[in-house]
Each structure stands twice: as structure tokens, then as C-alpha cells.
């Protein structure tokens, strides 16, 4: 169990010292994931898990190497590496389906998202921004952008953001779980992006984080991993306490936050709000049309997703 940290611009990854916990599922798989919901999806594989804070800088370059058997990555980022850089990985399953939500600050006079409202979003050029644009881009909103979801925490609490010398009063913040539940803002959630997306697309899902399998991993190991992962996701969604118990076996709150980016209590709160983390399991090869729609129609990626990209 190791935490990876980017130390120098050449993207060298340095693992801190750590051992395996005999109380948890044993694995010899090498797995890397961003912290947050993707890492939580690997809760029962924590003995082989490495996590990073910055996927673009610390995780996506791993597609060009052979350090890991499993990479849990933003779907678009991983598929781009496969299609454009011929990465030695295949997309096997989607494990998170959107943990974004529109949160009211309580400052909108008519309590309706409409023309002229001030809204803060994050990662404008990535999946969150693309989903927001698809859902709300035609409403004539004043949209402000921050780099990552953690930067929405302050505005969620204050209802404002300072840009340069100007303080802007916000009507809404487009943020994500578990941050929303961690800040006790679930009562202010106007709409979950996954619900709005499904309604607008006749039931399609947000393709957020996916599992990519190294082609050098044996079929037996890969299939066994996917079988266990599907069971894990079913257990997690049906009863969040299954995640909590594993987290608590792993370590205390600080150890949990260091590995997963979130503690058990916040995971429980998020999952108890109708699966706020958006966890689930979908074999990629069985959802190729849905994946292609999201990656190319919503994300405008222009990627040719043929049979070879899927495991």
C-alpha cells in the first residue's frame, strides 16, 4: 500500500514505505488510481493500491510505461493514450458514473437556474466541464472556473469567489461528492448531474472513471480481478457499510485520507445520498455504444474506438 508523490518535473514517482494488511484481501496486482471516487472503487484491493493526487501529471504518463497491471483513470484520458499513443492497455470496465451535482448557495432570488445566474464550475476542459456545458450551456449563465474540485470548497461555504480584486456572489456551485457531503451541503443539492444526464439522454450514463488492464497481465488474473471488482461494486452500492468496514480495517482517519483522499465517514455520507460517489460496474465491451457517445458526442474527443481498445 503506497502513496505516490510527484517530486520533479520529469514525473518521477516515489513510493513511501508500506506493507500489506493481512486482515484485508490479498493481491499481487499493482494498481494505480487517483484519490477520490476512483480510489474508493478499489477499496477491497487496497493491499495493491497506489494513489495519486494529480491524474494528468502523475497517472496518465503511466500508460506509456509498464509499472502497473491496472490503471484506474478518467475514461477519456485513458482512451486517448490507447488510441493516440498506442498504450499497452485495454479498457475493461467503467466504475464511476458521475459524482457531480449542482449546489445552491441560497443567493438566487428566484431559486431557479436561469439567465444571468453566477455559477462556479471546475475542470472546464475535462469531464466535469463537458457535462456541465451539455446540461446547462444554453441557459445564458455567467460561468466561472476553478482548476479542481477542492477549489469549490470555499465558495460552497461562503457563496462567493474572489477573482483578482473582484468578489463575485455565486448563485450555484457545480461540485462533486464526497466534498459536498463532507461540507454538509447535501440539503442544498438542486440536481445530481447523473440524474439530469440520464433524463436528457434517455437513460445514458456519464462515463467518468474506468479500469484499464495491462495487456501483459494474464487472462486468468484479469478475469478474476474483474469478477471480484463487480462483486465489490454491488456490495458497495447496496450497503455503504461494506466500504466503511474495509476502510476501518485499513487504518484510522488520517491513513484513510492519505490513501483514498477521503475518510470512511465522508464515504458513508456520500453513498447514503443515493450513491453520491456514482460507483458501479459496467463491462466496457458490453457498453461500447454508450462509451462512444459520451467520449465523442459529449466530450468531442474525436477518438476512433474500435474493438482493440476494449478488454
Report the distance separating Cα 304 and Cα 259, nearest Å: 35
On whether the CB atoms of residues 98 and 205 are closer than 8 A, the answer is yes
Of 151, 168, 200, the last residue of a domain is: 200
Dihedral sign, CA of 154, 157, 163, 165? Answer: negative
Do 11 and 88 lie in a common domain? yes
Residues 88 and 210 reside in one and the same domain:
yes
Q: Are residues 273 and 219 in the same domain?
A: yes
CATH number at residue 48: 3.40.190.10
Structural domain count of the chain: 2
* 88 and 219 fall within a common domain: yes
pTM: 0.90
pLDDT one digit per residue (tens) for the chain, 311 residues:
544 443 333 333 323 334 567 789 999 999 999 999 999 999 999 999 999 998 989 999 999 999 999 999 999 999 999 999 999 999 999 999 999 999 999 999 999 999 999 999 999 999 999 999 999 999 999 999 999 999 999 999 999 999 999 999 999 999 999 999 889 999 999 999 999 999 999 999 999 999 999 999 999 999 999 999 999 999 999 999 999 999 999 999 999 999 999 999 999 999 999 999 999 999 999 999 999 999 999 999 999 999 999 99
Same domain, 183 and 213: no
Do 183 and 232 fall into the same domain?
no
Residues 246 and 155 in one domain: no
Q: Are residues 183 and 257 in the same domain?
A: no
Domain limit, last residue, from 177, 200, 223? 200
Q: Are residues 108 and 87 in the same domain?
A: no
- Output phi, psi for 220, to 5 deg: -60, -45
**What domain range is 150 assigned to?**
100-200
| Nearest alpha carbon to residue 43 among 91, 99, 79, 1 | 1
Dihedral of CA atoms 211, 214, 215, 218 in degrees, nearest 10, equals: -90
Same domain, yes or no, for 244 and 304?
Answer: yes
Domain finish residue from 200, 224, 242: 200
Residues 251, 114 share a domain? no
What secondary structure does DSSP assign to 121-183, as a single string? EE-TTSHHHHHHHHHHTTS--EEEEESSGGGGHHHHHHSEEEETTEEEE-SEEEEETTHHHHT
Contacts within 8 Å (CB) and 24+ apart, 64-69: 66/214, 66/216, 67/13, 67/30, 67/32, 68/30, 68/31, 68/32, 68/214, 69/29, 69/30, 69/31, 69/213, 69/214, 69/216, 69/217, 69/221
The reply to whether 118 and 264 lie within a common domain is: no
Please report, for the domain that includes residue 106, its CATH number: 3.40.190
Answer whether 46's CB lies under 8 Å from 259's CB: yes
Amino acid at each position: 500500500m503506497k502513496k505516490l508523490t510527484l517530486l520533479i518535473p520529469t514525473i518521477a514517482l516515489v513510493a513511501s514505505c508500506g506493507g500489506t494488511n493481512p486482515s484485508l484481501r490479498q493481491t499481487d496486482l499493482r494498481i494505480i488510481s487517483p484519490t477520490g471516487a476512483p480510489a474508493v472503487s478499489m477499496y477491497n484491493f487496497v493491499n495493491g493500491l497506489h494513489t495519486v493526487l494529480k491524474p494528468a501529471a502523475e497517472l496518465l504518463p503511466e500508460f506509456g510505461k509498464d509499472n502497473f497491471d491496472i490503471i484506474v483513470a478518467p475514461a477519456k484520458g485513458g482512451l486517448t493514450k490507447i488510441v493516440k499513443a498506442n498504450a499497452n492497455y485495454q479498457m475493461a470496465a467503467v466504475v464511476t458514473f458521475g459524482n457531480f451535482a449542482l449546489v445552491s448557495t441560497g443567493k438566487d432570488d428566484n431559486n431557479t437556474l436561469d439567465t444571468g445566474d453566477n455559477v462556479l464550475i471546475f475542470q472546464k476542459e475535462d469531464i466535469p466541464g463537458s457535462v456541465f456545458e451539455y446540461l446547462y450551456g444554453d441557459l445564458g449563465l455567467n460561468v466561472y472556473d476553478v482548476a479542481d474540485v477542492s477549489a469549490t470548497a470555499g465558495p460552497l461555504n461562503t457563496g462567493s469567489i474572489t477573482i483578482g480584486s473582484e468578489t463575485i456572489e455565486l448563485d450555484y456551485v457545480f461540485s462533486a461528492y464526497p466534498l459536498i457531503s463532507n461540507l454538509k451541503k447535501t440539503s442544498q443539492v438542486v440536481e445530481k448531474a447523473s440524474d439530469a444526464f440520464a433524463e436528457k439522454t434517455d437513460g445514458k450514463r456519464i462515463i467518468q472513471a474506468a479500469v484499464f488492464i495491462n495487456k501483459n497481465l494474464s487472462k486468468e488474473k484479469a478475469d478474476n480481478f474483474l469478477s471480484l471488482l463487480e462483486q465489490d461494486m454491488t456490495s458497495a452500492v447496496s450497503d455503504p457499510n461494506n466500504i466503511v468496514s474495509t476502510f476501518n480495517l485499513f487504518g484510522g482517519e488520517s491513513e484513510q485520507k492519505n490513501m483514498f483522499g477521503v475518510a470512511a465517514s465522508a464515504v458513508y455520507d456520500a453513498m447514503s445520498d443515493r450513491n453520491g460517489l456514482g460507483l458501479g460496474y459496467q463491462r466496457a465491451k458490453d457498453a461500447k455504444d454508450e462509451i462512444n457517445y459520451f467520449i465523442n458526442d459529449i466530450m468531442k474527443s474525436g477518438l476512433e474506438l474500435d474493438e482493440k481498445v476494449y478488454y
